[in-house]
Each structure stands twice: as structure tokens, then as C-alpha cells.
Structure 1
Amino acid sequence: MLSITKSFHFEAAHRISDYDGACQYLHGHSYKLEVTISGKEMVKGDMLMDFKILKSLVNKIAIEPWDHALILKDNEINHSEFDHLNGKTYWMETEPTAERMVLHLSEQLAGLLPQGFSVRRVKLYETDSCFAEYENIH
């Protein structure tokens, strides 16, 4: 199966509200995101998919909502502490760990891909040496 990968960068702050340690406090990351999609057939121009299309999809579901945002779990304690802030907040059903963000993005992207394409891999770096990765091995 043929695959293509596109890399992205974004800045965001988050906190893990149900964590006993430094990550319970508001902090930020310079995230690096790599998204790989696979398909069986190439389209016009001998491309699996135009990189511009993949970029547009990922921008819509991840970069635009997450870049320069505060990403938080939608719970009472976070609302009480952060609702008063002016700025961009992205509320998640789960804690915004790299693992949950990767799963969230993978699920949303899978729902937007044309028939015959699949999400092969999503890798999200919080730092140069720490990342979470989803890989579809089917």
C-alpha cells in the first residue's frame, strides 16, 4: 500500500487536570505533527493524494482549532479556572494528553478521507524527544 506524509507545527498550551505532577499546571508546547495516509490507487497526476488536500483536511480538524489555543478537558474544575480567560480554548472530552490528541485527530481524519484512503499513522511530538503515535496496521 502506498502512503504519503505531511508534517505540521503548532503552538498550544494545556494542562492535565487529573494528574499528580508538573503536568497538572498550565504549560505549553511547540508541537510537531506528522500525518500519514494510505491508499491503493493513484489519482490524476500520478499522485496518491495532492499534499494540498491532506494539508487542508489536517488544518481544518487540528491546526486551526489547536494552534495558539488552550486545550483542556471539558470538566468543572477547568471551567471554573479558565472560563474567564480571553482567548482561544479547545475543549476535549478527555485529558489533552498527546495520546488522546493523536486518537482524536485520527478518528476525525478517518471520517473525512475519501473512500479508498485510510489513516496510516499520526505522530505528535510534544518535545523533540517525546511523542505519541497512532498506527493503523490493517
Structure 2
Amino acid sequence: MTRVSVFRKEHFNAAHRLHNPEWDSETNIRVFGKCNNPNYHGHNYELHVKVSGEIDPKTGFVFDLKVLSDLIHEHILEVFDHKNLNLDLPYFKTLNPTAENICVVIYDILRAEIDHRFDLKIRLFETERNYVEYPE
């Protein structure tokens, strides 16, 4: 069969602080710089969700993009948008909310909602020039 990928692009705004509680203040500032601001800082994240699979001969879809949009809105945007990731989301109570970790958390959330016959890839832009992707 023919495999095709479909993509959905969304965005959300969130604040965070990169901090390792096992390190002293000097080490945190040296490693994380401005991102260690004790008053947090924010990003306008851009999220790309890629779903790959075989085209369904009955619908012509790989994956219904309306369904994908609804999943992203319910499980990601409503949870992450306009939140302080460190304080408001249980995922980051003990996990440093780096772009890498945020990307993996989003993947895990959506992976649980999307049938495993489809491949899933998450690309998360923290800035226009910095982004992460999972799985690689």
C-alpha cells in the first residue's frame, strides 16, 4: 500500500523555568542562563504533528485531519496553552520543561490517543530558529 504523511500545525503560549533543584544557583544560571529566571519566561510554541500510514481506500484519508485537530485541541492545547508549565502541569513537577521534554510529553499524550498502526512524530518550535523533534 501507499504510505503518506499528514500534518497538523498548531500553536500555544506557555511560561516555564529551566532549573535543576539538585544544583546551586550559580550552576543553574551558568547552564540555563536567562531561561533560569526565577520569575519564569514565556514562549509562543509552534507544534507540528505528523501522522503517517496507509491511505484508507474507503475515505481516501490516512487520518482524518478533523479528528487529529480535535485530539490536539483537547489533549494538548487545552492543557498547555497559557499555562506555567512548572507550576500548572503535573508532567513537569519533577521533569525540567525543556523543549525536548515538552516534545516527548506531547508525543506520549497523543500516542495514547492514536492507533499504533499510524506512525506519529512531533516537532516543537520553541522559537523560529530552535526546534526539537521526537521520535528522531
Shorter-chain TM-score tier: 0.7 to 0.9
1:2 equivalenced with 2:9 (yes/no): no
1:51 aligns with 2:65: yes
2:89 matches 1:90: yes
Hey, what's the Cα distance between the residues in 1 that align with 2:9 and 2:117?
Answer: 22
The count of aligned residue pairs is 120
Q: Identify the residue that residue 24 of structure 2 maps to in structure 1.
A: none
Shift of 1:15: 0.6
- Work out whether 1:23 is the aligned partner of 2:35: yes
Question: Which string of whole-angstrom CA distances, capped at 9 and with x for unpartnered residues, describes residues 77-102 of structure 1?
Answer: xxxxx6xxxxxx22324111110011
Which has more strand, going by share of residues? 1
CA drift of 1:118 comes to: 2.2
SS in 2 for 1:112: coil
- C-alpha distance in 2, partners of 1:43/1:29? 41
What secondary structure sits across from 2:127 in the alignment? coil
Query: 2:130 maps to which residue?
Result: 130
For 2:100, the equivalent position in structure 1 comes to 99
Q: What SS class does the counterpart of residue 129 from structure 1 fall into?
A: coil
CA-CA distance at 1:57 after TM superposition? 1.2
* One-letter identity of the residue aligned with 1:90: L
- Identity value in percent: 30
One of 36, 47, 51 as aligned partner of 1:33 = 47
Distance in 2 (CA, whole Å) between partners of 1:4 and 1:39 is: 9
Q: TM-score, normalised by structure 1?
A: 0.79
Aligned residue number for residue 76 of structure 2:
62
Change beyond 3 A, Cα 1:11–1:40: same
CA shift for structure 1 position 45: 2.5
Residue 115 (structure 1) shift: 4.4
**Change over 3 Å in CA distance of 1:130–1:45 after alignment to 2:** same
Give, in angstroms, the shift of residue 134 of structure 1.
Answer: 1.1
Q: Between Structure 1 and Structure 2, which shows a larger proportion of helix residues?
A: 2
Q: Does structure 2 retain, via aligned residues, the 8 Å contact 1:10–1:66? A: yes
Which 4+ stretches in 1 moved above 4 angstroms? none
Provide structure 1 residue ranges, at least 5 long, that are not aligned to the other structure: 73-81, 83-88
Q: CA-atom RMSD, angstroms?
A: 1.6
